[in-house]
Amino acid sequence: MIYRLIILCLLAVSSHAQQPNIIYIMSDDHDADAISAYNKKFIATPNMDRIAKDGMRFTNCFVGNSICSPVRATVLTGQHSHLNGIKDNHTPFDGSKTTLPKLLKDAGYQTVLIGKWHLHSLPTGFDYWTVLPGQGAYYSTRLISMNNDTTRYNSYATSLITDQALGWLKEKRDPSKPFFLMMHHKAPHRNWVPELKWLEVFSKKTFPEPPTLYADTVGKGTAFKHQRMSILKDMTLCTDLKIDPQYIIDIAHLKPDSNEIRGYNAFMNAIPEEQRKRMKEIFAERGKRLQQLKPVGNDLLKLKYQWYMQDYLACVASVDESVGQLLNYLDESGLSGNTMVIYTSDQGFYLGENGWFDKRFMYDVSMHTPLLIKWKGKIKPSSVQTSLVQTIDFAPTMLDAAGVKVPDWMNGLSLNSILTGKQNVPMDIGMPRKELYYRYYEYPIDHYVIPHLGIREKQYKLIYFYTANEWEFYDLKADPQEQKNLIGSPQYQVEINRMKMKLVEVKNRYKDSEPAGELK
């Protein structure tokens, strides 16, 4: 009996040794254009680029609902929003559901979550977790622990999350078991408060403007006109761009007790005093320019865009530094050889295209998300993959890598055959995947983006804003910035009618029974 137990234990250890560790790093609102592996015109991200250099960069990875909580629920479940129950940023996630961490835990993994959670219920399925309350704060950051205690740290959020993750790896990990670590950054989420060292660097930079920064609404649909994500009109000077109210109280017609002033004071006072003084000096230069130039219209937009990019990219620089610390530890500890590292974001983000910030729309800027994966010995270094993939695929991919059967109820596909070079395209119901499904629900909260759904193929995209009863169709090859709606173009009617029928088919395939205007 004793010998049998020893043999079983040895077999278990041997089995675990074959299972890769998995580290899933997800930032918040990190657009692929702010990663130099994708685009070198804004920022250098040498550590994220290391993942691409050692592994695979996906150029066509997309979300199914471009907003924070729904994407996080999709990663946990491998399901679209209508099936996992999280369609918006306000519905609590049902912790009793079977999820990726629970399935990995059953397979012998240590499961860990550190950082942003934002699912309005306490995490389940993790052996260890510590999470930010709600959106969390950049400075004077709080973390909720497994015993439901909340501790405030005199740390910058990105550094704190990194330290917590490294602390677990060094001090709490059981070396005899594989681990699954979800490391979720707050940055670079709005209101983009950077570390002083990176603010010093980026506040001196000027960034190229996107071709559509000054786009107007002529010829655009209701949704484009109705949104409230305009840098010029909706991005605030105090809470978003950190300009002291004393410089703009007359320009912006602020009242002394306004929410914007209160918000400014709250986050500014959370910054440690020794850094706050210098940061206020840097931000004061913005206020002085406003007082001097008194810009309006496109002149004001030009300034706000540059200040926005300075702060946003400075936040990204901290995340890249964090990625480097983690990769260095994996190398130094000998864990790199059997660890799959995934870097992604919960969606894309507008960096001035259409004059906007934020996400939500099915347009590619916000529907597209970065995806970098390295897995030594499995993925050919510096690989680039152009297949259509989606966040519903993340859970199946990690389960498959761990040798765990992917449940039939998951909507996604394992990408491991792509990663290892065994096939060129993922398979969906026995056919190469030709389209992706998208549906956005949240309205009118925050940015007034009208609910819509649609499908995206390699070349064409069809969107239906069902509460406005308006269709949009784009030829992504001819118009990659999606500026010309071709829904009324005679030469595209065959494709449009085909895609309308395909949309109904895909909606039914994913068991989305909720009506959407003309689509039942």
SS3 485: coil
User: Is residue 460 within 8 Å of residue 486, measured between CB atoms?
Assistant: no
Residue ranges of alpha helices (H) inside 57-207 are 68-77, 81-84, 100-106, 157-167, 196-202
Say how far apart CA 411 and CA 427 lie, in whole Å.
Answer: 12
What does the pLDDT read at residue 6?
44
Structure tokens at 471: 């269709």
CATH code of 462's domain = 3.30.1120.10
What does the pLDDT read at residue 10?
43
User: Is residue 24 within 8 Å of residue 64, measured between CB atoms?
Assistant: no
What does the pLDDT read at residue 248?
83
What does the pLDDT read at residue 426?
56
For the chain, report the end-to-end CA distance as a whole number of angstroms.
62
Instruction: Give me the tens of pLDDT residue by residue for the chain, a chain 520 residues long.
Output: 454 444 434 434 444 458 999 999 999 999 999 999 999 999 999 999 999 999 999 999 999 999 999 999 999 999 999 999 999 999 999 999 999 999 999 999 999 999 999 999 999 999 999 999 999 999 999 999 999 899 999 999 999 999 999 999 999 999 999 999 999 999 999 999 999 999 999 999 999 999 999 999 999 999 999 999 999 999 999 999 999 998 887 666 666 668 888 889 999 999 999 999 999 999 999 999 999 999 999 999 999 999 999 999 999 999 999 999 999 999 999 999 999 999 999 999 999 999 999 999 999 999 999 999 999 999 999 999 999 999 999 999 999 999 999 999 999 999 999 999 886 555 554 446 899 999 999 999 889 999 999 999 999 999 999 999 999 999 999 999 999 999 999 999 999 999 999 999 999 999 999 999 888 6
Structure tokens at 183: 């490391």
Other beta carbons within 10 angstroms of residue 229's beta carbon come to 21
Say how far apart CA 70 and CA 85 lie, in whole Å.
Answer: 8
Say how far apart CA 138 and CA 189 lie, in whole Å.
Answer: 9
Last residue of a domain, one of 292, 309, 326: 309
Residue 76 lies in a domain: no
Residue 340 lies in a domain: no
Which one, of 356, 362, 89, 366, lies nearest residue 234 by Cα?
356
Domain count, the chain: 2
What does the pLDDT read at residue 259?
85
271: containing domain: 196-309
Say how far apart CA 411 and CA 391 lie, in whole Å.
Answer: 10
What does the pLDDT read at residue 430?
44
What does the pLDDT read at residue 8?
38
Q: 508: which residues sit within 8 A by CB, 6+ positions away?
A: none
What does the pLDDT read at residue 14?
41
Other beta carbons within 10 angstroms of residue 439's beta carbon come to 23
Residue 292 lies in a domain: yes
Cβ burial of 379 (10 Å; 0-12, 13-18, 19+) is buried
Cα dihedral 317, 158, 369, 301, rounded to 10, equals -60
Residue 298 lies in a domain: yes
What does the pLDDT read at residue 519?
83
Residue 268 lies in a domain: yes
Helix %, strand %, coil % of the chain (to 5): 40, 15, 45
Q: Please, which residues bridge with residue 462 across strands? A: 455, 473
Residue found under tokens 């920022």:
43
